[in-house]
Chain A
Amino acid sequence: MEKFENVSGVAAPMPLVNIDTDMIIPKQFLKTIKRSGLGANLFDEMRFTRDGAEIEDFVLNKPAYRKAEIIVAGENFGCGSSREHAPWALRDFGIKVVISTSYADIFYNNCFKNGILPVVLPKEAVDILMEDAERGENARITIDLDGQTVSATDGTEFKFEVDEFKKHCLMNGLDDIGLTMQKVKAIDSFEAEYAAKTPWA
């Protein structure tokens, strides 16, 4: 996984609440057996008409947001299906950070495993950043993962919380499996003990 670098860029405003993974990447694109290439269909049904033409109104189709690296979203972003295709599609499109008041659990975890930082901030902060985002290229939002801050265009800084371990992995581009493999002895001994206690399992 790539290391997460600090981001300073244009944020696309998506104030809708409960944006689910079916919206992020509709199921007709789950038929792939690969991870890459899904960015072309990110938010497909909101972004394109049935015959493939762009829907002008949709935020990522507006000139200012075509290269957005950040999404500021309404609450409970990423709810619904557990499909990891959702973060794959976001990342493939170029999104590195999502900012919202809350996320669905599975989506939240999936982000970290794919180099995306999901930032949780209180509603007042998200409201201010949403206003910034609505100003398109006239506003840039800056995210510093190490310092755990998001800065609005006027310099106002918001501190956010993030799990230390997840932060460490994201910053160093570490792969979970490799890390867990280092603890294989602990797993081996747990497994032996557990099998003795629960022979039916």
Chain B
Amino acid sequence: MSAPKTIYDKIWDAHVAHEAEDGTCLLYIDRHLVHEVTSPQAFEGLRMSGRTVRAPEKTIAVPDHNVPTTLGREDPETMPEDSRVQMAALDQNAKEFGIHYYPMNDVRQGIVHIVGPEQGWTLPGMTVVCGDSHTATHGAFGSLAHGIGTSEVEHVLATQTLIQKKSKNMKVEITGSLKPGVTAKDITMSVIGETGTAGGTGYVIEYCGQAIRELSMEGRMTVCNMAIEGGARAGLIAPDEKTYVYCKGRPHAPKGANWELALIAWKDLFTDEGAHFDKVITLKGEDIAPSVTWGTSPEDVLPIDALVPSPEDFEGGKIDAVRRSLDYMGLTPGTKLSDIEIDTVFIGSCTNGRIEDLRAAAGVLKGKKVKDGLRAMIVPGSGLVRAQAEEEGLADIFKDAGFEWRMAGCSMCLAMNPDQLAEGERCASTSNRNFEGRQGYKGRTHLVSPVMAAAAAITGKLTDIREFG
């Protein structure tokens, strides 16, 4: 009998197209997602060397990072010059190389990591890559999904393979159930708080345990999305009934006999009893609290009822990093996190821009008003999420509460387009990165879950959702 394998081992083994003596492999890629910011130089490279896209039918392009999210955004008159240039380049490249494409005015357009699963491109057991670090999101389906650089984008376009060496296996188990008010976002932030942003470097994480099984597909995507923030190459979760139900009937999911065949194969995607993990981390679901970041690294995370730490609480190089971070964030050690006042709320991104996230936020906002003077925006993750939210009446709840209701895109998650924080502005954000300047020059970001963001919009400060009612 062969040695017991993890899911990662299984997917890896099924995709090795060539292995060199030193263990360097050519890993075959099933889905290549492409967006406007990290791809132009790759297509330029193909053109310069006279190469073509090897598997255009497995290559999917959608603009998201730099698209305006205001209504009427297609108007080239109002679009910033650089957006227009990148949009035009993607348009041209998609057409010239014959790849699948969802242009900005297509209702299916949205953040690449939301569009992939939504359209049934992302399926269990697949290898998925994209020139974007949050490709880890797709691991929620039990696929091996990771971010790549532009040279690698070009490599995959030309060869449908990626040069890879195998990573190590890490198991992150969340036992038991989550308490009320605690979400997938809090799980994934707590794990990073535990491991640090470099704790996962060199690993592929498998998330498992009862609390993970109890999450919806949306929640699982939120968890895997931030695997990269813990430094991991990818994060994945074994597929189960919820996964199949989510995939079934999506435009590019298999149909008929192929669906039956796929199901048989997918049912083998679990980690064998006794398989080896190089590292194991276990958290108790009931110990996880609604969490919030206080600094400028995703590892700077604490439960909402904690206090802003002091640099002396840390060791080594982190002491200076924390000093710098607190200065940047304008925070004094010892302040209660729940006393921190904010001026902006952003709900959206590939971490928390799916329909379930909007439903959760609407649940908190129903019949309430955004605090006077606070700027609040909701940017759905895709045009289809937006349409669904309108149909369910969520959009009205948001608008009545005083939120801006935007078109789909990355928006203030990385603030490439005009959706930015002003200098010194403080934002409760459902995105995944709180780096310096991430949401705007000298902008200050506190990462939170959608329900916590919604509550903060009403009270005007970081708020413990458990005490909010």
- A contacts, CB < 8 Å to B: 15-18, 20, 22-23, 26-28, 30-35, 45, 50, 74-76, 79-84, 87, 102-106, 109-110, 113-114, 163-165, 176-177, 180-181, 183-184, 186-187, 190-191, 194, 198-201
User: In the bound complex, do residue B133 and residue A200 qualify as a contact, i.e. CB atoms below 8 Å apart?
Assistant: no
User: In the bound complex, do residue A163 and residue B165 qualify as a contact, i.e. CB atoms below 8 Å apart?
Assistant: yes
* Closest residue on chain B to residue A194 by CB atoms: B28
Please give, as numbers and ranges, the residues of chain B lying within 8 Å of A198 by CB-CB distance.
125, 262, 265
Q: How far is the CB of B96 from chain A (nearest CB, A)?
A: 14
Q: Which of A20, A106, A165, A184 contacts B435 (CB 8 A)?
A: A20
Please give, as numbers and ranges, the residues of chain A lying within 8 Å of B202 by CB-CB distance.
105
Please give, as numbers and ranges, the residues of chain B lying within 8 Å of A176 by CB-CB distance.
151, 155, 163
User: In the bound complex, do residue A23 and residue B436 qualify as a contact, i.e. CB atoms below 8 Å apart?
Assistant: yes
Contacts A23-B435, A84-B151, A87-B149 known; 18 new A-B pairs at CB < 8 A: A16-B324, A18-B197, A33-B40, A33-B85, A79-B197, A80-B433, A82-B131, A83-B37, A83-B38, A84-B41, A84-B149, A102-B201, A110-B151, A114-B151, A165-B24, A180-B159, A186-B26, A194-B14
State which residues 425-443 of B face A: CB under 8 Å. Answer: 433, 435-438, 441
User: In the bound complex, do residue B437 and residue A199 qualify as a contact, i.e. CB atoms below 8 Å apart?
Assistant: no
Q: Which of B123, B160, B198, B261 contacts A75 (CB 8 A)?
A: B198
Q: How far is the CB of B14 from chain A (nearest CB, A)?
A: 8
Q: Which of B28, B86, B155 contacts A33 (CB 8 A)?
A: B86
Binds A, one of B69-77, B215-223, B315-323, B338-346: B315-323
State which residues 66-104 of B face A: CB under 8 Å. Answer: 66, 82-83, 85-86, 89
Report if B259 contacts A (CB, 8 A).
yes
Chain B interface residue count, CB cutoff 8 Å, equals 74
User: In the bound complex, do residue A187 and residue B159 qualify as a contact, i.e. CB atoms below 8 Å apart?
Assistant: yes
State which residues 120-136 of B face A: CB under 8 Å. Answer: 123, 125-126, 131-133
State which residues 136-155 of B face A: CB under 8 Å. Answer: 147-152, 154-155
Q: What CA separation (Å) do A79 and B85 show in the bound complex?
A: 28
Please give, as numbers and ranges, the residues of chain B lying within 8 Å of A186 by CB-CB distance.
17-18, 26
User: In the bound complex, do residue B415 and residue A76 qualify as a contact, i.e. CB atoms below 8 Å apart?
Assistant: no
Report if B20 contacts A (CB, 8 A).
yes
Report if B233 contacts A (CB, 8 A).
yes
Please give, as numbers and ranges, the residues of chain A lying within 8 Å of B41 by CB-CB distance.
33-35, 84
* Closest residue on chain A to residue B252 by CB atoms: A200
User: In the bound complex, do residue A177 and residue B416 qualify as a contact, i.e. CB atoms below 8 Å apart?
Assistant: no
User: In the bound complex, do residue B258 and residue A17 qualify as a contact, i.e. CB atoms below 8 Å apart?
Assistant: no
Q: Which of B17, B26, B37, B158 contacts A30 (CB 8 A)?
A: B37
* Closest residue on chain A to residue B88 by CB atoms: A33
User: In the bound complex, do residue B435 and residue A76 qualify as a contact, i.e. CB atoms below 8 Å apart?
Assistant: no
Report if B209 contacts A (CB, 8 A).
no
Please give, as numbers and ranges, the residues of chain B lying within 8 Å of A177 by CB-CB distance.
49, 51, 154-155, 158-159
Q: What CA separation (Å) do A87 and B253 show in the bound complex?
A: 37
Q: How far is the CB of B392 from chain A (nearest CB, A)?
A: 31
Please give, as numbers and ranges, the residues of chain B lying within 8 Å of A34 by CB-CB distance.
40-41, 44
Q: What CA separation (Å) do A100 and B297 show in the bound complex?
A: 19
Q: Which 3 A-B pairs have the closest CB atoms?
A: A200-B254, A31-B82, A33-B40
Q: Which of A18, A28, A35, A106 contacts B321 (CB 8 A)?
A: A18
Please give, as numbers and ranges, the residues of chain A lying within 8 Å of B22 by CB-CB distance.
163-165
Q: What CA separation (Å) do A103 and B233 show in the bound complex?
A: 12
Q: What CA separation (Å) do A49 and B410 show in the bound complex?
A: 27
User: In the bound complex, do residue A106 and residue B133 qualify as a contact, i.e. CB atoms below 8 Å apart?
Assistant: yes
Report if B231 contacts A (CB, 8 A).
yes
* Closest residue on chain B to residue A15 by CB atoms: B317
User: In the bound complex, do residue B231 and residue A76 qualify as a contact, i.e. CB atoms below 8 Å apart?
Assistant: yes
Please give, as numbers and ranges, the residues of chain B lying within 8 Å of A50 by CB-CB distance.
441
| 14 A-B pairs in the complex with CB atoms less than 8 angstroms apart | A22-B435, A35-B41, A45-B437, A82-B133, A82-B148, A84-B41, A103-B201, A113-B152, A164-B22, A165-B22, A180-B161, A194-B15, A198-B265, A199-B254
Please give, as numbers and ranges, the residues of chain A lying within 8 Å of B261 by CB-CB distance.
199-200
User: In the bound complex, do residue A201 and residue B86 qualify as a contact, i.e. CB atoms below 8 Å apart?
Assistant: no
Which of B49, B155, B299 is most buried by chain A, counting CB atoms within 10 A of its CB? B155
Q: What CA separation (Å) do A82 and B34 show in the bound complex?
A: 13
User: In the bound complex, do residue A74 and residue B86 qualify as a contact, i.e. CB atoms below 8 Å apart?
Assistant: no
Q: How far is the CB of B302 from chain A (nearest CB, A)?
A: 17
User: In the bound complex, do residue A180 and residue B155 qualify as a contact, i.e. CB atoms below 8 Å apart?
Assistant: yes
Please give, as numbers and ranges, the residues of chain A lying within 8 Å of B126 by CB-CB distance.
201
State which residues 230-257 of B face A: CB under 8 Å. Answer: 231, 233, 253-254
Report if B414 contacts A (CB, 8 A).
yes
Q: What CA separation (Å) do A165 and B25 show in the bound complex?
A: 11
Report if B464 contacts A (CB, 8 A).
no
Report if B206 contacts A (CB, 8 A).
no
Q: How far is the CB of A167 from chain B (nearest CB, A)?
A: 11
Please give, as numbers and ranges, the residues of chain A lying within 8 Å of B173 by CB-CB distance.
none
